[in-house]
A and B are shown apart, each in its own frame.
Chain A
Amino acid sequence: MDISASVLTYFLIPAVKAVVVVILVATAAGVLTYIERRTLAFLQVRKGPNRVGPEGILQFVADVVKLLTKEDVVPAKAQHFIHFLAPVLVMVPGLAVFAVLPWGPEFTMRIPGLGKITTAWYATDLNVSLLLLLAITTVGIYGIILGGWASNSKYALIGGLRSAAQLISYEVPMGFAVVSAILMARSLSLVEIVEAQRTHHMWFILPGLVSFFLYFVSGVAETNRIPFDLPEAESELVAGFHTEYSGFRWAIFFLTEYANMITISAVATALFFGGWLRPFPNVAALAFLDVIPGVLWYVLKVSCFLFVYIWFRGTFPRYRFDQLMALGWKTLIPISLTNLVLVALAALGGFRGLRILGIVLWGAAIGAFLIVTRLRAAKPPAAKTAPASVRARAAEA
């Protein structure tokens, strides 16, 4: 290999990719804020932002311009350096993890003057990419804690404390859920996990129903979204850890939150929903689905998760802090441990074992759901018609 080729492979293409990824992620996070507001509006029988640009699509540009030109207020008694550092600490890991997200398979393209180049729809493929991902996302917590502490505001401090406790607690079930996917694929590389779902002839959501559920719930908690948005619960803590931030520093917190949503959704897609693979990747009859390229499949799946995020936000109240911790430690962690053992046993049986586990899990879930809803329909709850005085309710205090 001559020098120009190695420069190309090891420097130029990664550099281009890195720049593209950063720009794309920042834009995507911005667009996501618009999409969220719009979708929430639809859930809430209103219209949402629809003034800037066609259907309001440029609203996020207006927001960014506004935030950039806004005065950057720093409280007088804040720790200035840490106050300045905190958004950076949050943003850098939030963007860095995009290096390992596998958006699509390898492909070859022809660039005039350089010839054929084989590259992939991801910045890099590490053999420990999942480990890297878990490690890097955790660093973001420091930014939140430090931002809350350095603001010299009690609300921000409480928000930072809540955030620290919450993120650390939910790392655990999330880690276990990820480990179960690793056991199924026998690899730590996201690209290989996606490929393993092709070789196993199924998406890992089949045996990983519980794992996926755990991963997603923990993910919602990790990204501070309703119903787990305690660190920034606006009705309690005003704005939580970023109460004292304004202007573009606030925007960085905000955008990173959305970038993290994309990360969580993207990892969930890669681990459990076959990444860029089409549904039933081995059924030849569905080959016409290959018209849609892998990247689009991936984006489509991620969008679905993002929609669920927004849907959650439009539906649920918020947990209380102690309830949140109880849910994490007393419910999710025991379930995730049990699930891990089950998956490990099934993985011993290889492909066949995983398939049996999947069929059992899904059969039990759907069966129980049908039976209970049927029973419920037969006996409607008294809640709807009778006044509260006649409602019998067990005292749960």
Chain B
Amino acid sequence: MSFWDDILLLDIFGGLKMTGRHLLRKADTVEYPEAAREPSDRFRGMFRLDEERCIKCTLCAIECPIDIIFIDWHNEKNEAGKNEKVLDRFDVDLKRCMFCGLCEEACPTNPKSIWLRTKTYELGTYERNEALYLDIRKLTKWDENVKPFTVVEPGEGR
């Protein structure tokens, strides 16, 4: 049997049949710029910050495994005469970020004030120190830098 298999090259023809069957199948390719895949709801992408909700507790900065979040604040008296923390600076060094999402997990507010689930992945830039270092302005209004598929508010899609 195996002798005849050898002579008749059955394994060879079997392989050819196998690939031949795929010849007319539809390609599985997704052609990126035209047909970009929408990421899933939990996809960890570009950062977004809600300055109003943030209580300046710096837990996100503490939990960050690679220390890329930099927060500064000062106290100000508000109209009621109470001390209120005001953010001086909230920077994320995105070029070192590994998108683990621990900062989002650490955030104690509900809904989260910093979150990554924004369905964005098009973060390519030409100048990494400029574009991939985010300050408050870029964190809160990054729609001008990055086009998200849909802006997802935290709490959605969980």
Are chains A and B touching directly in their complex (CB below 8 angstroms)?
yes
Contact with A along B1-37 (1 / 0, CB 8 A): 1001101101010011011101111111101000000
- List the B residue with the shortest CB-CB distance to A394: B2
Chain A residue at minimum C-beta to C-beta distance from B17: A315
Name the distance in Å between B22's Cβ and chain A's nearest Cβ: 6
Report Cα–Cα, A44/B5, bound state, in Å.
27
**SS class, residues of chain A in contact with chain B:** helix
Closest A residue by C-beta to B3: A372
Question: How far is A42 from B28 in the complex, measured between Cα atoms in Å?
Answer: 10
List 7 A-B pairs, minimum CB-CB distance, nearest first. Answer: A47-B29, A315-B15, A315-B19, A47-B27, A46-B29, A372-B4, A43-B19
Known: A311-B16, A372-B8. 14 other contacts (CB 8 A): A41-B27, A43-B23, A45-B22, A46-B29, A47-B31, A315-B16, A315-B19, A316-B12, A368-B4, A368-B7, A372-B1, A372-B4, A372-B5, A372-B10
How distant is B33 from chain A, measured CB to nearest CB, in Å?
10
**Which range holds the interface residue count of chain B?**
20 to 34
Which A295-316 residues sit within 8 Å CB-CB of chain B? 311-312, 314-316
| A-chain residues with CB within 8 Å of residue B1 when the two chains form the complex | 372, 375
A-B contact pairs, 6 of them (CB 8 A): A45-B28, A315-B16, A368-B4, A369-B8, A375-B1, A376-B5
Q: How far is the CA of A39 from the CA of B8 in the complex (A)?
A: 26
Query: In this assembly, does A373 line the interface, its C-beta being within 8 Å of a C-beta of chain B?
Result: yes
Bound CA span A365–B10, Å: 12
Which of A39, A315, A372 makes the CB contact (< 8 A) with B18? Answer: A315
* Bound: A316/B18 CA distance, A: 11
Cα separation A311 to B23 with both chains bound (whole Å): 10
Interfacial residues of chain A within 25-75, with CB under 8 A of chain B in the complex? 39, 41-47
Q: Is the pair A311, B22 in contact by a Cβ cutoff of 8 Å? A: no
Q: Measured between alpha carbons, how far is A373 from B24 in the docked complex, in Å?
A: 25
The distance in angstroms between the C-alpha atoms of A86 and B27, with both chains bound, is: 40
Q: Give A372 to B7 CA distance when docked, in angstroms.
A: 11
Query: In the complex, what residues of A have CB within 8 A of residue B23's CB?
Result: 39, 42-43
B residues 86-127 with Cβ under 8 Å of A? none
Bound Cα distance from A158 to B75, whole angstroms: 73
Chain B contact residues: helix, strand, loop or mixed: helix
For the complex, give the distance between the alpha carbons of A44 and B22 in Å.
7
In the bound assembly, the distance between CA atoms of A373 and B10 in angstroms comes to 8
Q: Report A-chain residues with C-beta under 8 Å of the C-beta of B18.
A: 315
Looking at the complex, which one of B10, B15, B19, B27 makes contact with A46 (CB distance below 8 Å)? B27
Residues of B within 8 A of A372 (CB): 1, 4-5, 8, 10
Q: How far is the CB of A318 from chain B (nearest CB, A)?
A: 13
Q: B4, A45: Cβ atoms under 8 Å?
A: no
Q: How far is the CA of A150 from the CA of B141 in the complex (A)?
A: 60
Closest B-chain residue to A312, C-beta based? B16
Most buried by B among A44, A312, A368, A373: A44
Cross-chain contact B10 with A376 (CB below 8 angstroms): yes
A314 CA to B17 CA, complexed, in Å: 11
Set of chain A residues within 8 Å of B29, measured between Cβ atoms? 45-47
A362-397 CB contacts (< 8 Å) to partner B: 365, 368-369, 372-373, 375-376
Cross-chain contact B27 with A45 (CB below 8 angstroms)? yes
Nearest A residue to B2, CB-CB: A394
How far, in whole Å, are A46 and B28 apart by their CA atoms in the complex?
6
- Complex contacts, B12 vs chain A, CB 8 Å: 316
Q: Are B27 and A311 in contact (CB under 8 A)?
A: no
- A368 engages B27 (CB within 8 Å): no
Q: B-facing mask of A315-341, CB < 8 A → 1, else 0? A: 110000000000000000000000000
Residues from chain B with Cβ under 8 Å of A312 in the complex: 16
Q: How far is the CA of A365 from the CA of B16 in the complex (A)?
A: 18
- Which of A43, A46, A368: most chain B Cβ within 10 A? A43
> Within the complex, what minimum Cβ distance (angstroms) separates B30 from chain A?
10
Q: B118 → chain A, closest Cβ, in Å?
A: 30
A45 contacts B16, C-beta separation under 8 Å: no
Which residue of chain A is the closest to B21 with respect to CB atoms?
Answer: A43
Distance, CA A43 to CA B28, complexed state (A): 12
A311 cross-chain contacts in B, Cβ below 8 A: 16, 19-20
Chain B residues lying within 8 Å of A316, measured Cβ to Cβ, are 12, 15
Expressed in whole angstroms, the minimum distance between the Cβ of B153 and any Cβ of chain A is 37
Which B residues are in CB contact (< 8 Å) with A44? Answer: 22
| Choice from A314, A368, A375 contacting B19 with Cβ under 8 Å | A314
